[in-house]
Amino acid sequence: MITAIAACTATQVPDTIPPASGTWDSKNLVANIYLPAEKTISPITFNPLKQNLYSGKLMVPSGASLINSEKSLLTVHVNKAGLLSFIGHQHIIASRDLDGWIDEVKNQGYFSFDIAKMTVDEPALLKSNLLPDELNASEKEATKQNMMKMLDAKSFPNVRVLVTSYDIKKSMIHAKITVKDQMIERDLLVKVTKSASNKITNLTGETRLKLLDFAVEPFSALGGLLSVNDEIVIEWKLVFK
């Protein structure tokens, strides 16, 4: 999802360059190159890969429509697995903190959400999916902490989705999905709702993903007899301003 771009310009570069001396700081990835005064090159700094992946947000293109976080919702349906799955629980993990945009001119978009702000088993969501609300508040918090540990949320605090194209005829988007430091690409079917002025107002869809595709080991207990199912179901409803 993330592309590192280095741009360089040169003017009046001689056929031969005088010998250089300098220093190299491998920890901060900074190179200082010293040449004679008339041929000086400024220091070049490369940010560490992890910082590039998880600091800042993609710039919003001019004319793009922003996600309405108050009205948008993403849910992750997590099932149970293992020989003792009958003592486990199904969970619905939800994000109401979606941030991003869609650019209809370029047929591109982007959205992300913070893992720490996700909720576990909201009663209304469980009811709408015909699931019992069996856990108390402390048990739901423990489930959330297990999820954050599984996804290493302290090091990789958010999930990002970059939409690189949209096929109107097939109602399909091509998405690059990044979880932790792993990115996979998928073609996803979506339903698009437009306003009277032909502007996209809603983008809804559903897909199935596997945790192991992102190098995420499903949480397990009791020596693996009870675990989280590798396959999860994700539903989203994005509402745009």
What pLDDT was estimated at residue 58? 62
Count of Cβ atoms closer than 10 Å to residue 20 Cβ: 11
Q: What is the pLDDT of residue 30?
A: 43
- Interacting residues of 134 by C-beta distance below 8 A, sequence separation 6+: 89
**According to the model, what pLDDT value does residue 17 have?**
43
Q: Looking at residues 75-88, what average pLDDT do you find?
A: 85
- Whether the pLDDT of residue 35 is over 50: the answer is no
52-71 per-position pLDDT tens digit: 333 345 678 888 999 999 99
Residue type, 34: Y
* Contact status, residue 92 vs residue 126, Cβ threshold 8 Å: yes
- Is the pLDDT at 73 greater than 90? The verdict is yes
Mean of per-residue pLDDT scores for the chain: 80
Please state, as a whole number, how many other Cβ atoms lie within 10 Å of the Cβ of residue 209. 18
Tokens of 182: 């792993």
The model's pTM? 0.72
* pLDDT-derived band at 233, boundaries 50, 70, 90: very high
Q: Cα separation of 211 and 218, whole Å?
A: 7
